[in-house]
A and B are shown apart, each in its own frame.
Chain A
Amino acid sequence: MTRSVMVELVGGRLSLALLVWPLAVLVLLACALLLTGAFSLLTGSYGLSAPDVLAVLRGTLPEAVAGTVVWEFRFPRLLVAMLAGALLALSGAILQGVTRNPLADPSLVGVSQGASLAVVSLIILAPQADGALRPFAAFAGALAVAALIQAMSGARTTGATMRFVLTGIGMAAFISAVTSTLLTYGRIDGALSALGWLAGSVHAAGWNEVRALGLVGAMIVPAATWAARPLGALRMGPEVAVGLGLAVSPARVGLITLSVAAAAAAVAAVGPLGFVGLVAPHIARRVAHSGPGLHLALSAATGALMVTLADLIGRAAFVPLQIPAGLVTALMGAPLFVALMLRAQSRQNL
């Protein structure tokens, strides 16, 4: 595992040591993702053969219906599942690094609930509003709740990470109740559309969502590359990070904003998908220990794979019924969360 390759760039002035095993895992994950994706394109109520799908993707349409099914329904859905999973996992990985809390998760600490509340308010209180406003509402809601929880749990003292989680659980219960109350109050059509979204499903995803998520993803990738360095320093504790010359508070604020932005974009597109942001970074760390930068990439790949799989299972398990991906991730993620809890070191003692 410690074997590495040296990559020399710019005539030896810039050299990188890359670990072989994590890179191999990353390639493996990408292959698994491609395979699942291909399988996902072939699965559905309208039977299609592999050559048909390939022909559609190449642009040579065998028949109009197949083209519509693949191009308008399955392909954007697959892309949205991948992108949303990757963003949630990135968000979780960054949040866990910043708070040095292995149990931090956008859905556990109220970020998803904040985004949900904002989006449901938008759907219920302003039904005629443009759907394009959703990501911004989600971002504002998520950021507000994250700031609130951060402020209330007090970020300095030693027991703070545990308080952060518990405060998040309390806030999450409160905000979910507000959201449900809004649903009671709203008109029935708005409430129904909001309910479907709240279950966390990619089934309604279209090219609009792909575009939005792709745009956010394109902005997040360079930011995450920047984030790797302060994350690595913060992982060793704030004192060490200061010693390494990191401006801790600005870095922390920047990283949390980044994490919230990634989660908010994903939640706005597909609704709250529980446990992905929590579990994916841990799976990534278990299969390959690596530096913070590569860890982010591995987490993103794992998250994409998780949500794609969850959507595939949700579609294939109870045909003709479609189970929302959010339910599948909760059913898979909760036992994994318990396993993580049991392994968590006793330094989190209260």
Chain B
Amino acid sequence: MTALLEVSGVSVTFDGFRAINNLSFSIGPTELRAIIGPNGAGKTTFMDIVTGKTRPNMGTVIFGEKSISLLSMNEAEIARAGVGRKFQRPTVFEDQTVAENLTMALKAARAPWRVLFWKEGPADRERVQDLAREVGLADQLPRKSGELSHGQKQWLEIGMLLAQEPRLLLVDEPAAGMTLAEREHTTALLVEMARTRAVVVVEHDMEFVRRLNCKVTVLHEGSVLAEGSLDHVTRNQQVIEVYLGRG
């Protein structure tokens, strides 16, 4: 299986501080992967690099069968190439309805002129309803998304990501601030999504990672410390020292 995303030898420095140090990482086209690591290990910076928010000083980031380099593209181009990102804090457009949020995210032409003349067809409306149903917001479509609960906003954001039909999904701490029932729903959604695409989950919560039941990458001081099943990495002496031992 060839990799969908291939990050190799990437380093990035902020004012002399090495946030990412010679990091290499790859993920297949239909794989679920959890990234764990202590605070400051570079998890968020890693996501920033892949999505184009931060430019690395060194290294390459290659995406897709055509092996396009993500480093020469801006955020919007990377998103159009098929990389979706979910932030830790739910970022939906609170001023707009659930339906409008989903419609905006639907895979369609993104150029201003095309969007100006875009008309919602029956297929689009159906797709929006399907997505809403999938994330459990079917009866919330006309509501302003700002009125939703925290968990519902998280799901709306996941729904928006699904609407983009990305091939690679980066999810930052999806379970933060969720109730137990909401966590279970979220786990099921992530596992389901990883059937047809690559999903990278950054998470602090070990219990949540265990439930995902997938390969785990441990980051420490900007590079990969260990990789493998959760049981495998939690037995690793170095991992225990830098991360688990302290907790």
Same complex for A and B? Answer no
Chain B residues engaging chain A, CB cutoff 8 angstroms: none
